[in-house]
Amino acid sequence: MYDIKLWRHVFKLDPAKSISDEDLMKVCESGTDAIIIGGTDNVTEDNVLNLMSRIRRYPLPCALEISNKESVVPGFDFYFVPSVLNSADVKYHNGILHDALNEYGYMMNFDEIFLEGYVVMNEDSKVAKLTNANTDLNITDLESYALMVDKLYKLPIFYLEYSGKYGNPEEVKAIKHNLEHAQLIYGGGISDLNTAREMSEHADTIVVGNLIYENLKQALQTTKVKQ
């Protein structure tokens, strides 16, 4: 599954959180399509490297969703770079990215880097606070972001981020309707197979994060969306 377009289900592991070898084995052998390593805070070179090397024992794709320049390490199959479109701070659109290109642009392998058009919707999430995101968006606003990502910026990925909260499936449906090329990734508050199925109806890919740490059994059930 080294074609990200084919991913239906992904587990997102937070390098700042601990997970036992036994639980990690269950996650990696669950039948999920890929693992994304990502988090908002306390993401360091050390904890990213450590988690990546433990996941590398298993034959599944592993992507790093970059949260800061300092924790980018070689060895991933893919690098996902979030550009938070509804952030009030240009730093989180392209500012950090521009700095990184100044420093390392000459040595980047652009075939493995995917820019994510990110829209953050849970006002209480760490990522919304960090990026000062305007989460007061209605369906028309979201449809417009979808057009922006797909028709104008022509980004490969639209990520609807509800981190920590379950979103509105009608929003996912409306966004999907406006995407012709971009892959629609939904993440946030998936708590069982039912919610996973509901979001999978319209999202191309669903991401399960916190549930891994809160209720691993339920998290593993969500991979059944692939059946």
Ligand X SMILES: O=P(O)(O)OC[C@@H](O)CO
Ligand Y SMILES: CC(C)=CCC/C(C)=C/CC/C(C)=C/CC/C(C)=C/CC/C(C)=C/CC/C(C)=C/CC/C(C)=C/COP(=O)(O)OP(=O)(O)O
Residue carrying the six token digits 């972001």 = 145
67 touches Mg ion (CB under 5 A): no
Q: What is the full DSSP assignment across 103-171?
A: HHGGG--GGGEEEEEEEE--TTSHHHHHHTB-----HHHHHHHHHIIIIIS--SEEEEE-TTS---HHH
Taking only Cα atoms into account, the Rg of the chain, rounded to an integer number of angstroms, comes to 16
| Interface segment toward ligand Y; rule CB under 6 A; list 55-63, 138-146, 157-165, 167-175 | 157-165
The binding site for sn-glycerol 1-phosphate consists of 12, 159-164, 189, 209-210
**Cβ 95 to ligand X, closest distance in Å?**
20
Residues of this chain that interact with ligand X (CB under 6 A) are 12, 161, 163-164, 187-190, 207-211
209 touches Mg ion (CB under 5 A): yes
**Cβ 122 to ligand Y, closest distance in Å?**
9
193 touches ligand Y (CB under 6 A): no
CA 118 to each of CA 104, 162, 174, 215, 227: distance values in angstroms, whole numbers, following the listed order? 23, 10, 16, 26, 28
132 touches ligand Y (CB under 6 A): no
CB-based contact 78:4 (threshold 8 Å): yes
Our CB check for ligand X shows the closer of 52 and 219 to be 219
92 binds, among ligand Y, Mg ion, ligand X, none (CB under 5 to 8 A by kind): ligand Y
- One of 8, 14, 150, 189 touching ligand Y (CB under 6 A): 14
